[in-house]
Structure formats: C-alpha cells, structure tokens
Structure 1
Amino acid sequence: MPRTSPRIGSGPAAAACALLLLLGAAATGCDSAEPTNNGPTARPAPAGPLGNRIGPLFVDDTDGMRACTAAVVHSRGHNLLITAAHCAAPRGVPLDGLVFAPGYRDQRAPYGSWPVNAVLVDPRWGPDENEGYDVAFLTVGTVRGRQIEDAMGAFTLATGLGFGLDVTVTGYPNNAVSPITCEGLTTSRSNTQQRFDCAGFTDGTSGSPWVTEQGQVVGVIGGYQQGGNSPEVSYSVAFGDRLADLYRQAGG
C-alpha cells in the first residue's frame, strides 16, 4: 500500500480532493521492507543552472495544488519534460491544466510557469497502472516566445546503462520550500525496476529525475509501489528499450 502521506501533494478544495482520490496511490520513494535508518539523508539542493532544469508540477497554476516533480530532457522540439506516469496520467487518463515551474524556490517561480500541452504514456500503463511503464513525457508551451530547453537547458536521456550507476536525485517535497537532493548508487530490484536508497523523498517527489555526472537521466521516482512505501527507499522503472521507444515517440 502507499504510505499515508503520498508524494503527489494535497489540495484544499473539493475538486482538488477528488483529484487526490484519483492520485491517492501515488506514493513515492520507498520500500515495503523494513527501512534502514543508517543510510544517507537528502539535503537542501543548491541553486544553479543544472538544478533549475528540475521543478514541481502544479495543477492550474503555481498557486494551485502541487503534483509531483519533473525535469527538462533534450528533444527535437526543445519542449519536453519527463516525470512519472502516475503523476500526469493517473489510471491512464492524462491530467488537464498541469504547469511546470523550473527552479521553483521559496514559493517563487523565477523562470516562469510553463503550460503542459500534451502527456504521452505507454498504452500498457493503462487503467491498471502497470508499474513497468510508470514514466511520462510532457510537452510544454512557450513562455515569452521561448522553448523551455532554450531557456533552461536540458538533461539528456539515457537507456540501457544497467544498474550500479552513480546518480543524483533531486525533488520537491510538499513540506519543503526548496528542493532536496541526494547522491548514491542505483541497484537492481528486478530486470525492470531499479532502487535508490536515501531518506527524505516524501510527498511531492514522484517523478524526481535520477541524473548521472554526465547529465543523463536514467530514472524517475515511480515504478514499483509507485516509487515506494517509505521515504528511505525509492524506485524507478529501469530505462531500457521500452522507454527508448516512448522517448522517440515523444520527439526525443
């Protein structure tokens, strides 16, 4: 089961509550096994150009409900984000009204609010939310005539690199005013799922990118248990051929 405080966020209004019911299984960053409490803990993420490629997703605008974390990835159209499918298409149905705020800090969006125009998920994600396909690509519109990759830069997307990778995971917990970050090694949970051990990735951090020193996104929090059931351990779909196919369809 997802943990009591799921990572997707909370909303005060009745409409937002209905959305939360739809997103209620969207817990992230954890494991059903007994967590280890002697591992690393995430710390506040420093500001900078690389971190500014990451931001929270909101519903309607930056004053609305926060719903997960996303990151800019390179594409032919210079307009692509990556996040978890359970963030952007719960039960297989794309959410309307999402906006992305790169580099969001202290309740401010210094680089603007970018509207999500389209959501692409693998058809096998579907109403049953198949954990092997918990990744989504989002295309965003322009702000002041600029594409988001031209404004913020972008990570590259890498598939087929296997496990045992040094990565930095950065995300936006709903209970923090700024992002958190942590470094560590990826490990294998199965052929299609990978794991990252670091405490602190609570509600709001679904979709957080796993980035190598080379600037490659090799995972996003999601997948098994929609990311996990305790804040000490997070999961991601293993990025392989299936994800590479979806990325090409998205314009990567």
Structure 2
Amino acid sequence: MSRTSPGPGAFPAAAVGALALLLAATAAGCGSAEQAGDGQQGQAVARPAAAGPAADRVGALFVGGPDGARACTAGVVHSPGRNLLVTAAHCAAPGGVRTDGLVFVPGYRDGRAPHGTWPVTEVTVDPDWEARQDEDHDVAFLAVGALDGEQVEDAVGADALAVGLGSGLDVTVTGYPNQDDAPITCRARTSSYSATQQRFDCAGFTDGTSGSPWVTDAGRVVGVIGGHQEGGISPDTSYSVAFDAHVTDLYRRASG
C-alpha cells in the first residue's frame, strides 16, 4: 500500500502498532498502481467518479485525519443508528488487530472534506478474521460518531445492505486509489468465483480501493472489495466475500 507522509505526531499513540500492520497489508484489491492499465480488450475500465449523492456515500478512510495515511475505502449503509459504514476487514483490522484513529471522509476529493470528517468509534469484525484472517470473513462494519449532533446517514444518505442475492448482478463500484486524490467508479457485472467468493472485472482498481462497496441500481450493497487475496492481485479483477447469513449476523452485531 502506498501512503501519505503524515508528519510527526499525526497519529494517536494507540494507533501506531496497528498502523504498521495496516501499511504492510495489501490495501487494495488489485495490485499496484504501476500495474494498472487499460485492461484486456473489451474489458470495462474505471473512470473518474462525478460528485453527487450516490458517490458521496462512499469515502476514504484515513488514520489520524485527512492529513494522515490513506487506508482504504468505505461506504455508508443504512442502520438503526444511522451511523454505520461497511468496508473490508483487512482495512479496519489488519492482521486481526483493530486500527485506532480511523476517520471517514465521505465524498473526499482534492484534499477537501465536503461532508466533514467522521471519527470511527467502533470496529466490528468476525472472530474468524481476528483469529486467522479467514478470507471468507474479510468484511467489517464501522460505527462513526456524530458531528454537530448529526449522524453520517443524515448527512450523505446510505445504501441498504443486501444478502443472498447471488451473482450475475450489475453493480457500480466506487473507490479511492491511493495514487489519486479523487474517486474512480466502474459499472460491471458480478460473477461467482467460489461458493464463498464473488468477483467483478474492471481495470483500474489499485491500492486504496479495498473496502469499496458494490452497489446495485436499487441502492443495495452486495459486496466490498476484499476477500480472496484481500481483493485481488491484479487491478483488472476484484473480489468480495459472498454476502450471506454470516454478513447479516455481523451487521446485526454492529447495529447492536
């Protein structure tokens, strides 16, 4: 994973150990920035994402603030508390260790936080991820604190979590490559990789795009970049755990 030099004192002391693991992890589905190209002939290629309500529900995760290290991508999902994000477990708890000091910046671009900077207050991952980083459990839910009495879902809206829909779905995936200061997006169709993993093919999803939500036209989140190979080693193909009953259970725990 590439990173921004944060300067002295940018991170809370409790974040330093977990940050070292996070910076060593593969934070993007899909290989290094140098590998990104135009994809195979006829393959979809990611393009810059226009600002707007749908894109602004997705944001960049940083450690210590927008001037700190860029971690991954996350998206707002509807919840009773109106304060929940979904991302990959390897973004929020690399090596099974929760990262302190994460903040979420929805709609981030060009160094600006148009909808504020939201501190992550709680990380929920599956015990199988904590114990052995099981790739079939590479999904996490993050609660964020209110800003000026407002919850993040009230500020930018949310997509709905959906499970058990299978593959063959048209989705839009928006994420934040580390080498860019604005998001990219791509529309592609999901396919089954295994009984527990799904994939989509679109070139350009490099380091930093892990955690990017897969959103259907109906506004349903059916995956996040992660899972197999922590999202993939090629920028042309990205993976996600299959969203099924175990994701529902994790969501219920996080919604508490």
TM > 0.5: yes
Between the aligned partners of 1:20 and 1:165, the Cα distance in structure 2 is 35
Alignment gaps of 5+ in structure 1: 1-5
Q: Which residue is 2:48 aligned to?
A: 44
Q: Which residue is 1:25 aligned to?
A: 25
Alignment gaps of 5+ in structure 2: 32-36
- Measured on the aligned residues, the alpha-carbon RMSD in Å equals 1.9
| SS in structure 1 at match of 2:119 | strand
Equivalences for residues 9-88 of structure 1 within 5 A: 9-12=2-5, 21-23=20-22, 24-30=24-30, 37-38=40-41, 39-88=43-92
* 1:246 alignment partner AA: L
Between the aligned partners of 1:251 and 1:19, the Cα distance in structure 2 is 24
Q: Which residue is 1:3 aligned to?
A: none
TM-score where L is the length of structure 2: 0.89
In the superposition, relative to structure 1, how do residues 17 and 122 fare at CA in structure 2: closer, same or farther (>3 Å)?
closer
Shift of 1:127: 4.0
Percent identical residues: 62
| SS in structure 1 at match of 2:127 | coil
1:193 aligns with 2:197: yes
Shift of 1:105: 1.1
Between the aligned partners of 1:19 and 1:77, the Cα distance in structure 2 is 27
Q: Which residue is 1:204 aligned to?
A: 208
Question: Do the aligned residues in 1 keep the contact of 2:19 with 2:99 (CA within 8 Å)?
Answer: no
* 1:218 alignment partner AA: V
Question: Do the aligned residues in 2 keep the contact of 1:29 with 1:232 (CA within 8 Å)?
Answer: no
Question: Do the aligned residues in 2 keep the contact of 1:10 with 1:17 (CA within 8 Å)?
Answer: no
Between the aligned partners of 2:30 and 2:180, the Cα distance in structure 1 is 18
Question: Do the aligned residues in 1 keep the contact of 2:18 with 2:97 (CA within 8 Å)?
Answer: no
The superposition leaves residues 47-93 of structure 1 with CA deviations (integer Å, 9 ceiling, x where unpaired) of 10111110000001111001000000000000000000000011111
Name the one with the larger helix percent: 2
Q: How many residues align?
A: 242
TM-score where L is the length of structure 1: 0.91
